[in-house]
Structure 1
C-alpha cells in the first residue's frame, strides 16, 4: 500500500500579511500530481487543515475543491483535526463522506475505531485537548494522559497480523519546533514521549512545521509552506510511505513547491544595501535585523529599494559593555504564555507571582485556549469550564488591581 503523509495545511493563513491562498492552491496541484504519478492509495492528513476555527469562505472552498480532486485522482483520504481546527465544523457530515472515500475523524468517541482500507487499519486520532478529552477517555488531565489512553484503545482494537497506521496531532519529545506553531499546553507541558507509539507500523504526525524523522516509523511531514522566518532552512513537503506485507517498507521525501524562498539578513544598513553577498535575497521574502548603534532614517523604505519583498524589520543595536538594554519584547520572545503573564506581573510590580496567582493565570489561559479552538464552549461536558470562566473576570480584576 502506498500512503502520502501530509499535515498542517493551515488553509487561510497569511505570511506577514501576504495572502497564501494561491500558493495553497498550488500545493493541492502538487499533491494530486503525486497521487497520480506514484499511484498513492491513501492520503493521510494529520491535522490543522484550517488555520483557525472559523475559516474564511475562500479557505473552505479551496478545501472542498482540493479534497474532491484527491479522491477523484484515485486515493482515499483520511483526515483528523488539529488544534487550529474546529472539531465540530470540520467533522460535519463525516459519516456520509466516508462512503465516498473521505474519512474525517474529529470526535474523541471515535478513538480506537479504525478506518479499514483494504487490509490496513488506519487510526486517525483528532487533536485531544486534555481539558475536554480526559473525561471521555477516563485519563488524567494531561497530554501524556489523554494520548496514552487513546493509544491504549488503539492497541485494544488491533487484530493480529493486521498492519496499522496511526495519525496524531501532538508535540512528541525529540521533535524540533519553529516559531509558527501554537503552544499546545499552558507552561510548555504539552510534550509526549515517543514510546507511546511503540509497535505501530507507521505513525503520521502533525503539529510541528518542519519535516522530520523521530524514528524510522514515526515522522512529522511538516507544513507544505513556511509560516515564519524560523523555517527558512527547512525543506517543505510530505512523506511517501510504502507498507509491505510485513509492515513498513520504504519512506521517501516528497518536495513541495516553493512560492518564494525566505532570506534572513543581519547587519548594518549601509552594508546590507551595498554588499554583493546579498544579491540572492533580492527576489526572496526577506527578514532584516539591523544592528546599527542608532536607528537609521527611513530604514524600511531604503531597504525595499533593493529588497522589494522585505516583510519584517527588526532593530537590535550593537552595544558595548555588559549592560542589558534589550527591549521587553526581546526578553519575552519565545517564552511560554504562562511565563509571559507571570513575568509581566513581576515586571510591573517588582515581585514574582504567587502560587495562587500563577494557578489563576493558568486557568485563564486554558479557558482562552479552548475558546480559540471552538469559539464557544457548550454542553454538559463543559459546565465546569463555563462556571470557571464566569468567575475569571472578577478574579483577574482583583489580581491586576493589586498591581
Structure 2
C-alpha cells in the first residue's frame, strides 16, 4: 500500500501582509498530481491543518476542495488535529466524511482511533493520535501516573494494545525527538530544547511498534531516529528560518511486515522565499534582480537608513516581506548588555538613546510624544508618566 504523508498545511496563513491562499492551492494541486502519478492509496495529514483555531472562509473552502478531490479520486484520507487547530471545528461532519473514506480524529476521548485497511499483503492498522496534552490524557486515565507529555503518549499507546506482529501506521502531532539529537526546528512551532511551541518532547522509541510514524508539528522535513519516523515538514516556507529548506512530501510504500520504503518527492512553490543581503544599490542592480515575484527578506548593509526603503524595494520585488539592517549601528546595539540598559533610566532616556543610535540624531518632541502614546496603549507606561 502507498501512503503520502502531509503535515502543517496551516491553511489560511499569511506571510507578513501577504495572503497565501493562492500559494497553498497551487501546492495542494501539485500534491494531487503526485497522488495521481504515484498511484497513492491513502493520504496522511498530521495536524495543523488550519493556521488558526477559527479559520477563514477561504481556508475552509480550500480544505473542502482538497478533501473532495481526494475522495473523488478514490483515495483514502486520514487526518488529525494539531495544536493550531480547533478540535471541534476540524471534527465537524467526521461521521459523514467516513462514507467518502475521509477519516478524522480531532479530539482524544480516551481511546486511540484505529482503522484497519487491506491490500495485497493483508491488513494494515492505521492509528490516529491528535495533538494531546498530558492533562487531557490524565482526565481519562487518572490512575496512570502521568507527569509529562512522554508519559501521556506512552500510556495512550499501552492502553491501545498495539499488536507488533501486524503492520501498523500512526499519524500524530507532537514534539518527537531522537535519543541524542533534537529536530531541526523552523517556523511557527517555535524553538527550544525541552519543548517546542510549549509542547514537551517525546522519545521516538515509544513508537517502536509502528512500521511508519507520520509526524506533524516541526516544519523542517526530516527523519527522527529511523527512516520510518518522520516529519513531513510544511509544504510551503512559512518563516525566514525555513528559507533554506527543500520542501518535499514523503511517499511511503509498505509491503510485508518490516518492508517499508520512503521516497521524498520534491515540491516547487508558486513563489519561493529568499533572503538577500547587501547594499541597497547592489541588490537592486538589474543584473542582480531575479525571480521578482518571490517573497523577499532583505538585510541591508548600508550605514545610513534609507527613506521609504520598503516602497523602493517593492517597486522591484512586490512581495518583499521584511527589511532590516546589518551595519555598525546594529552591531553596536547587539553588543550592549541588555540587562543593564534600563537600570535607573526613564522611558524618554531609553527611547532617545535608541533613536540616536539608529538615526544618528536627537528625537524630536513630537516624535517622543507619539512614542509615549504608543507605550501607554501597549501598557508599558502608566498614564501619569
TM-score interval for Structure 1 and Structure 2 normalised by the shorter chain:
0.7 to 0.9
Residue of structure 2 equivalent to 1:325: 333
Higher helix proportion (structure 1 or 2) = 1
Residue of structure 1 equivalent to 2:15: 15
Matched, 1:209 2:219: yes
Q: Please say if residues 110 and 137 of structure 2, whose CA atoms lie closer than 8 Å, have aligned partners that are also in contact.
A: no
Residue of structure 2 equivalent to 1:132: 136
Deviates more, 1:38-47 or 1:102-111: 102-111
**Kindly tell me: are residues 149 and 32 of structure 1, through their superposed partners in 2, closer, same or farther at Cα, counting changes over 3 Å?**
same
Residue of structure 2 equivalent to 1:94: 94
Deviation of the 1:11 alpha carbon: 0.9
Matched, 1:150 2:161: no
Deviation of the 1:261 alpha carbon: 1.3
**Kindly tell me: are residues 188 and 60 of structure 1, through their superposed partners in 2, closer, same or farther at Cα, counting changes over 3 Å?**
closer
Deviation of the 1:70 alpha carbon: 0.5
TM-score w.r.t. the length of structure 1 is 0.75
Residue of structure 1 equivalent to 2:173: 169
Deviates more, 1:111-120 or 1:2-11: 111-120
Deviates more, 1:163-172 or 1:182-191: 182-191
1-structure distance, mates of 2:251, 2:197: 35
- The SS at the match of 2:297 is strand
Deviation sequence 1:238-278 (CA, Å, 0-9, x none): 110000112342211122231111111122323323484x3
TM-score w.r.t. the length of structure 2 is 0.78
Deviation of the 1:88 alpha carbon: 1.2
Deviation of the 1:141 alpha carbon: 4.1
Deviation of the 1:71 alpha carbon: 1.5
Q: Equivalent of 1:220, from 231, 256, 262?
A: 231
Residue of structure 2 equivalent to 1:39: 39
Deviation of the 1:324 alpha carbon: 4.8
Instruction: Kindly report structure 1 stretches of 4+ aligned residues shifted beyond 4 Å.
Output: 182-189, 346-350
Residue of structure 2 equivalent to 1:265: 276
**Kindly tell me: are residues 248 and 134 of structure 1, through their superposed partners in 2, closer, same or farther at Cα, counting changes over 3 Å?**
farther
Q: Equivalent of 1:178, from 164, 186, 198?
A: 186
Deviation sequence 1:130-166 (CA, Å, 0-9, x none): 3433322445242222222223234x1x235320001
Q: Please say if residues 9 and 50 of structure 1, whose CA atoms lie closer than 8 Å, have aligned partners that are also in contact.
A: yes
Q: Which runs of 5+ in 1 are unaligned?
A: 332-342, 351-396
Deviation of the 1:53 alpha carbon: 0.7
Q: Equivalent of 2:265, from 248, 254, 258?
A: 254
Q: Which runs of 5+ in 2 are unaligned?
A: 345-378
Higher strand proportion (structure 1 or 2) = 2
How many correspondences in the alignment?
333
2-structure distance, mates of 1:327, 1:190: 32
Deviation sequence 1:301-343 (CA, Å, 0-9, x none): 23333333322111233259xx851399x97xxxxxxxxxxx8
Deviation of the 1:209 alpha carbon: 1.0
Q: Please say if residues 47 and 173 of structure 2, whose CA atoms lie closer than 8 Å, have aligned partners that are also in contact.
A: yes
Correspondence 1:297-316 to 2 at 5 A: 297-316=307-326
2-structure distance, mates of 1:268, 1:162: 60
Deviation of the 1:186 alpha carbon: 8.4
Q: Please say if residues 111 and 123 of structure 1, whose CA atoms lie closer than 8 Å, have aligned partners that are also in contact.
A: no
- The SS at the match of 2:78 is strand
Deviates more, 1:186-195 or 1:209-218: 186-195
Deviates more, 1:87-96 or 1:49-58: 87-96
2-structure distance, mates of 1:14, 1:36: 29
Residue of structure 1 equivalent to 2:25: 25
Deviation of the 1:237 alpha carbon: 2.5
1-structure distance, mates of 2:328, 2:279: 9
Deviation sequence 1:156-203 (CA, Å, 0-9, x none): 1x2353200011111222311013225795895622222222231000
1-structure distance, mates of 2:293, 2:68: 34
Deviation of the 1:348 alpha carbon: 6.2
2-structure distance, mates of 1:327, 1:127: 40
Residue of structure 2 equivalent to 1:109: 109
Q: Please say if residues 2 and 243 of structure 1, whose CA atoms lie closer than 8 Å, have aligned partners that are also in contact.
A: yes
Deviates more, 1:90-99 or 1:178-187: 178-187
